[in-house]
Amino acid sequence: EDREVVILRNLQELDWNGNILYEIAEKRPGYTHHHDFVKIFNKKLGANTILSVVSKDITHEQAIARGADPKKRKDYTSNPDGVVEFDLKGNVIWEWNIFDHLIQDLDPSKANYGVVKDNPGKLDVNFGEGRAGDWIHINSLDYNETLGQLVVNNSTDSEFYIIDHQGTFMPGAPAGSIAAA
């Protein structure tokens, strides 16, 4: 029998009577809400927003293009986690994903080539047997409103990352905010 698989991609806030106050749908193909989210007050916008842990599908070819060593794995297809900020209308206004913060010392022709130990703010794409599946697996996040920073856990490597949100957020320029993060 054919069955339709439905992936829930919505976050909702309800009032005490069960009325939906807002609903955030991750509409982009290859992106899925994952585990945790937090409602914050974005000072630069002067409005509440939602920070959500979101998985992003990555193809084998995209990983190789970012310097993953093809000799370590036959397939780098994966879904690394990151954080996406939505306004309460569901628009993406900021994004951070570990896939955009990689370092590798394999291929000098790639933009992310460098000395791994000299880049503590980057993740070594070729660490161990090479990254696949959960490059980082974020189970939770929290936001420090005073510092404008968020913290996420990487349960895959038993690490925590502090991410500068307020310093990389550009009101009215989602593409610029995403590039700056």
DSSP letter, residue 121: T
Query: 3-class DSSP state for residue 116?
Result: helix
- Is the pLDDT at 8 greater than 80? The verdict is no
Q: How far is CA 129 from the centre of its chain?
A: 22
Looking at residue 181, its pLDDT comes to 67
What tokens does 148 get? 């404008």
pLDDT tens digits along 91-106 = 999 999 888 889 999 9
Pick from 129, 10, 157: nearest CA to 72: 129
Looking at residue 6, its pLDDT comes to 45
Q: Which residues contact 102 (CB under 8 A, 6 or more apart)?
A: 66, 67, 112, 122, 123, 124, 125
Can you tell me the mean pLDDT for 139-167? 89
Q: Which residues contact 159 (CB under 8 A, 6 or more apart)?
A: 136, 153
- Is the pLDDT at 157 greater than 80? The verdict is no
Q: Which residue has the higher pLDDT, 108 or 179?
A: 108
Query: 3-class DSSP state for residue 53?
Result: strand
pLDDT tens digits along 26-66 = 889 999 888 889 999 999 999 999 999 999 999 999 999 99
Query: 3-class DSSP state for residue 113?
Result: strand
Q: How far apart are CA 91 and CA 100, in angstroms?
A: 20
